[in-house]
Amino acid sequence: MGMTGRQKVLKTLYPIFSVFNYLTGRGTSIRREKNAAIPPSNIYEMIVDLNNGTRFSLDNWKGKKILIVNTASNCGYTPQYEELQELKEMFEGRLEVIAFPANDFKEQEKGTDDEIASFCRKNYGVTFPLASKSSVKHGPGQNPVFQWLTQKERNGWNNFQPPWNFSKYLISEDGRLLACFDPSVSPISKEMLQAIEG
C-alpha cells in the first residue's frame, strides 16, 4: 500500500516537526522506574494477537529488552516507523520491537490489519511484528498488553497511558517496565539509546 498525499507531506515535514517539538519540549517527557519494582503481574504471560492472524507469546523474548509502541499510519510521528526499524537493527539480538496500531487518537489509523502491514513494509521497511489493531487507551476495550503497561497494580509503578500515537514503553530483560517515552522522543534519541544500553 503506497502513501497518500497526506502521508507524503507528513513524512517530509517530520524532521521540522521533530526539531520544533524538541525545542519547545512538547511531548518529550520520559518517565523512568527508579526503585526496581517487581511487577505484580508477569508480562511474559501475555499473548499478542498479531496482524497476520497468528498469536505470539512475549515469553519468547525473555532475556532481551522489548520496546512496545502504539502506532498509526496518518500521524505526524508516522515516520518513526523507519527509526524503530533502524533501532531494532542497531540492537539486533538484544532488543525486540513490537507495534500496536490503534485508531484511538483523531482516527489516524483507519486501515485494516492487511493495509497497515503493507503500508509499513512498503514505505518504511518494517520487519518487526505488528499487533492486530486494537485500543491502547484506558477503558473496557483496552489491549491487555497496554493494561499491563498503564496500570500500576500490574506493572509495579506506572499509570501513564499513551497521550498520543508513538508513545514508547521499554521493558527490561527480566520483564520490568523500565521507562515510558512520550511520542516526540525519537526512537534513536540519545535518551532511548542510553536506556537500552543501560
Q: Name the residues annotated as catalytic.
A: 75
> Which residues are within 8 A (CB) of 26 and not within 5 positions of it... i.e. 6 or more apart?
20, 184
Q: Which residues contact 189 (CB under 8 A, 6 or more apart)?
A: none
Residue in 65, 71, 70, 10 with CA at minimum distance from that of residue 43: 65
Residue 157: which of 35, 29, 68 has the closest Cα? Answer: 35
Cell of 16: 521540522
The answer to whether 83 and 186 have CB atoms below 8 angstroms apart is yes
**Cα of 84 vs its chain's centroid, Å:** 9
Q: Taking Cα atoms as reference points, which of 63, 30, 8 lies closest to residue 185?
A: 30
- Residue 150 · residue 159 · CB < 8 Å: yes
- C-alpha triplet 174, 163, 68: angle, nearest 5°: 30
